[in-house]
A and B are shown apart, each in its own frame.
Chain A
């Protein structure tokens, strides 16, 4: 495929074994990519190859297998770091975005957040970028404040500026909302936060898989993302820190691998990033993530973004003709990612998801781990369809037909 060519999603499906299976006798229409993505054969092969040809622990095994495993694990760190414009030594492998925010909450937060400090998050955060800060604020006597949203589901900039005047210690915000699809201008927001003296953390779980991301350009102190939402295996993700920041932090978990020397009564720490990778690391899945990065690199993230925007435009146009369907979030598709949360008449999202499942269509229904946002939207739940590289117009058509069917059953 040429760099400039649009993604041919139908052809790409051949790389994903799961997409040839049937659900309730129908073609699987997988529209739950914001929850987790499917895996291409190349990623599955990388896992099988590791376990069947060079499975070994990393870093201290002198034998051949150990050296091969170490090279593959560290090679994956390099690829993953370069994929987001970072240096390998600034990237810590974690279980996922949730572990990354918890790591920062503990290893950075305990030392740096003091009584009376303010931590700022936004109303559109996933629970993983709220609850660690709630706990930290409670432990250290700080307060947690929320930036509100404008009616269109974008961040209330004036409100953000007001909170910055309180000189927050930390600003933690999402690059892209997993519910509204809103893409925040994190470069601008991080620069504003920095001027106010705040340390910044960006949740990139919904952005790194879907658009070009350069953490240097964004200028955040911490940037976190998950492997399984970008074609990689579950159980692996990354925390990327601004150069030098990891060195200043205390350890997170302690034990093997993260130490330099252990004495009877004290220990010294390994170099970064190893200081934050206690115990035997998730070698296989880190290598699998490397294979996912290779796959996405070969496509090019600009093309991934273009593909999703085109699909988003098509979906907006098609769903607009479904009477009683309300889409949440920005109306301008350019400022959103391939995520559509909606409600349809009085059909509850769970009922809709059950009816769609019967058609082989997988969507998400519920609060999407964003209850403060649900309260702001004043709904108990939404339905959510989210796209990736293997989705095409036929998936949107199937979704629409499924919604119309639900409308018939519910006599909307």
Chain B
């Protein structure tokens, strides 16, 4: 797969015009993380509604097109879903939103930073702990 497939129009559009970018005035969950390798940074806020549904979610951050576009797309996907849904969210879901690009191990971490932030926040709220499987390069 070539970089032309990775940096498709839609990725660049989300990078330059990120949906749900900003901060919520009132939120129930807030979490933040960085990718220590590259300094990519994502902060996410979730507001819960009736039945523990994700009523609103916003993010801020800086980083590469992949990390920012993936985080933005994730906020769109998450809106309206029950908080429990975050538990079932898998990395494949994120890859699918990005068009299943062949990212390679170092860029996969960029793609999944937003999911990690969302999961860390949601798991914490639900009284659980999220262990990121992408955290380490150990086999």
Contact = CB atoms under 8 A, between A and B. Distances in A.
Interface of A: 346-351, 354-355, 358, 365-367, 371, 374, 380-381, 406, 409-411
Contacts of B41: 380
Interface residues of B, number: 20
A371 B38 CA distance: 10
B60 to A, nearest CB: 13
A410 B12 contact: yes
5 contacts: A348-B64, A350-B110, A366-B38, A367-B38, A367-B39
B23 to A, nearest CB: 19
Contacts of A367: 38-39
B39 A411 contact: no
Nearest to B1: A358
User: Which of B62, B64, B65, B104 gathers most chain A CB within 10 Å?
Assistant: B64
Interface in B5-21: 6-7, 12, 16
B18 to A, nearest CB: 12
Contact of A410 (B7, B37, B107): B7
Contact of B38 (A355, A358, A365, A411): A365
B7 A380 contact: no
A411 B12 contact: yes
User: Which of A365, A409, A410 gathers most chain B CB within 10 Å?
Assistant: A409
B112 to A, nearest CB: 14
Contacts of B88: none
B38 A351 contact: no
Contacts of A358: 2-3
Interface of B: 2-4, 6-7, 12, 16, 37-41, 62-66, 104, 107, 110
Nearest to A368: B39
Nearest to A24: B2
Contacts of B2: 358
A295 B114 CA distance: 48
A26 B8 CA distance: 23
A380 B63 contact: yes
Nearest to B103: A354
Contact of A366 (B4, B39, B104): B39
B16 A371 contact: no
Contact of B39 (A346, A355, A380): A380
A366 B39 CA distance: 7
Given A409-B4, A410-B7, A410-B12, A351 B64 contact: yes
Contacts of A365: 38
A380 B60 CA distance: 14
Given A354-B3, A358-B3, A410-B12, A371 B39 contact: yes
B90 to A, nearest CB: 23
Contacts of B64: 348-351
A320 B57 CA distance: 42
Contacts of A406: 3
A349 B66 CA distance: 12
Contacts of B7: 351, 355, 409-410
A365 B3 CA distance: 16
Contacts of B38: 349-350, 365-367, 381
B137 to A, nearest CB: 15
A183 B110 CA distance: 33
Nearest to B101: A354
A254 B37 CA distance: 33
Contacts of A381: 38-39
| A-B interface, 9 closest residue pairs, ranked by CB to CB distance from nearest | A348-B64, A350-B64, A355-B3, A366-B38, A367-B39, A380-B39, A409-B7, A351-B64, A351-B65
B6 A354 contact: yes
A346 B16 contact: yes
A344 to B, nearest CB: 13
